[in-house]
Amino acid sequence: MKSWLVASILGLLCTVIVIIIAEIHFTDLLKTAGYLHGQQIANSGYEISLQDVMCKRALDNTIVLSSVDSGYLDMAVNLYLTSFKRFKIENYLFVGSDPDICNALANFSIACFDYIHDSDGSTVSGYFSEAFKRKTHLKTKIILEALMLGLKVLITDVDIVFFTNPLPLFTCTTCDMEISSDVVERNSGFYFARPTSASIRLHETAWIQGLAKPHVSNQNAIDRNMERMQRSGTITVKDLDPKMYINGKVYFEDGKRMFKGDNLCEHCVMVHNNWIVTEAAKVYRFKECGLWENDRNQYYSDRQQTYLSFGLPKDYGFTNTITFEEKVLRNAFILGALLGRIVILPTFHCYGCKYSRVCKQPNAKCTLSTFYKIEQFDSQLKDNYRERCISKS
């Protein structure tokens, strides 16, 4: 047998052995972390793998992945409606981390694979909590699995909205990765990775590091290892234009965008609804900016529902205006409850700006989130109001 053939066979065998060893190692780490892996089709006895599903869903050797749990069901549905469905992106897959999320998404005919069951999967995990960090590492794992199949991967967090189909825009064929910015560092919530040895090595290292050091977030693990590989010249990374692939600080705060129609961004490719802490606040911000299309429970389309709308046109100065508007808002909710009507929020004068850095001039108009923590507000009144922009829909 010729030497080149022997070398090729040995090389192939080594690759297979490395992949098997790596997968065994990953499985052991998963068990250590308390994860359950896999999905069995009812009554068939056949266990389908994530790899099988990714290969089936991929188009042009490319897959769009998003990790999700039941705590972010509404966000996932909104991502699908505003981005995947709108731009006819069919090669997407949500990857679930609790027993219920994929069944819930199936009600909307949204593709989801029931992959790993996290103990905190059914609840929203606070930003940078231990549960939050653990969940973020699932992104690293699913990207790695796709890369090892030879697939190109776009990973997107669920709190993102596309303004156009981003897939044709990843044109740096010599790059291992193309990644968005989070102002102070690169953002692991939106990036494109090619199935190169450098990308695979980066994600393998970050995954193992994340499980060994759960206090380290997925973003820190990806960023620090990427920087190290760049310094050694072993990976090529393109930073996506931060004016086109925009984080929440730049789009909402620096861009002074509070309401639908504020400072339209014609060159934007996507917006990441980050730099804000709670899911409730993110949802409300999307809604007021007209970036929410999730009609779950007939949020927009209930023809039987009646509404109560009111305005706050008069400015009484700093202290008096805040006091007056709080009193009027309270009375509106009381009246709405008595009449069985949902309150449509007004615009508020921008005095105080306790919880927002988007505020304009004091005599300008601001949203509810300027003065109230939305999560606390929703704990009492979530189903009793609609955002201002609904009255202009």
Question: Is pLDDT above 70 for 24?
Answer: no
- What is the mean pLDDT of the segment spanning 38-50? 53
- Point out the domain boundary residue: 240, 263, 294: 240
- Per-residue model confidence (pLDDT) at position 116: 84
- What is the mean pLDDT of the segment spanning 138-153? 96
Answer yes or no: is 297 within a domain. yes
- What is the mean pLDDT of the segment spanning 342-366? 81
**Nearest residue to 268 (alpha-carbon basis) of 293, 249, 289, 241:** 241
289 and 228 both lie in a single domain: no
Answer yes or no: is 125 within a domain. yes
Answer yes or no: is 73 within a domain. yes
- What is the mean pLDDT of the segment spanning 178-199? 96
270-272/348-349 β-pairing: unpaired
Answer yes or no: is 246 within a domain. no
- Per-residue model confidence (pLDDT) at position 135: 66
- Per-residue model confidence (pLDDT) at position 41: 36
Q: What is the mean pLDDT of the chain?
A: 85
**Among 172-181, 239-248, 281-290, 360-369, which is the least confidently predicted range?**
360-369
233 and 108 both lie in a single domain: yes
- What is the mean pLDDT of the segment spanning 189-215? 93
229 and 330 both lie in a single domain: no
Answer yes or no: is 359 within a domain. yes
- Per-residue model confidence (pLDDT) at position 19: 39
- What the block records as the tokens of 231 is 């310094």
Question: Is pLDDT above 50 for 31?
Answer: no
DSSP letters of 354-374?
TT-S----TTSEE-GGGTS-H
67 and 141 both lie in a single domain: yes
231 and 328 both lie in a single domain: no
- What is the mean pLDDT of the segment spanning 62-90? 97
Q: What are residue 235's DSSP bridge partners?
A: none
DSSP letters of 75-120?
HHHHHIIIIIITTT--SEEEEE-STTHHHHHHTTT--EEE-B--TT
Question: Is pLDDT above 70 for 221?
Answer: yes
220 and 362 both lie in a single domain: no
Answer yes or no: is 258 within a domain. no
205 and 236 both lie in a single domain: yes
φ/ψ of 76, rounded to 5, equals -65, -45
Supply the range of the domain harboring residue 292: 279-392
Rounded to 5 degrees, what angle do the CA atoms 335, 341, 344 make?
Answer: 90
CB atoms within 10 A of CB 341: 16
21 and 75 both lie in a single domain: no
214 and 284 both lie in a single domain: no
- What is the mean pLDDT of the segment spanning 28-55? 55
Quote the CA–CA distance of 194 and 282 in Å, as a whole number. Answer: 30
- Per-residue model confidence (pLDDT) at position 358: 74
**Among 8-17, 181-190, 192-201, which is the least confidently predicted range?**
8-17
Q: What's the predicted TM-score (pTM) here?
A: 0.85
- Per-residue model confidence (pLDDT) at position 10: 39
Quote the CA–CA distance of 183 and 20 in Å, as a whole number. Answer: 38
Q: Where are the beta strands (DSSP E) in 170-209?
A: 177-181, 186-193
Tens of pLDDT, residues 294-333: 999 999 999 999 999 999 999 998 889 989 999 999 999 9
Q: How far is the CA of 150 from the CAs of 100, 143, 389, in angstroms?
A: 30, 11, 44
181 and 289 both lie in a single domain: no
Domain tally for the chain?
3
CB atoms within 10 A of CB 14: 10
- Per-residue model confidence (pLDDT) at position 29: 40
- Per-residue model confidence (pLDDT) at position 124: 54
CATH number, domain of 205, equals 3.90.550.10
Contact 75, 283 (CB under 8 A): yes
Tens of pLDDT, residues 87-121: 999 999 999 988 899 999 999 999 999 998 765 54
- Per-residue model confidence (pLDDT) at position 239: 98
Answer yes or no: is 257 within a domain. no
Quote the CA–CA distance of 66 and 89 in Å, as a whole number. Answer: 13
Rounded to 5 degrees, what angle do the CA atoms 60, 88, 142 make?
Answer: 55
Q: How far is the CA of 33 from the CAs of 30, 100, 211, 213, 241, in angstroms?
A: 5, 20, 7, 11, 36
Tens of pLDDT, residues 247-262: 999 999 999 899 999 9
Q: What are residue 365's DSSP bridge partners?
A: 349
Q: Where are the beta strands (DSSP E) in the chain?
A: 39-40, 47-48, 62-68, 92-96, 112-114, 152-156, 160-162, 177-181, 186-193, 237-239, 245-246, 270-272, 307-309, 342-344, 348-349, 365-366, 385-386
357 and 285 both lie in a single domain: yes
Answer yes or no: is 50 within a domain. yes
pLDDT band at 123 (very low <50, low <70, confident <90, very high): low
**Among 48-57, 258-267, 345-354, which is the least confidently predicted range?**
345-354
- What the block records as the tokens of 339 is 């009449």
**Among 73-77, 118-122, 144-148, 250-254, which is the least confidently predicted range?**
118-122
349 and 212 both lie in a single domain: no
- Point out the domain boundary residue: 193, 221, 240: 240
More confidently predicted of 46 and 160:
160
- What the block records as the tokens of 260 is 């639908």
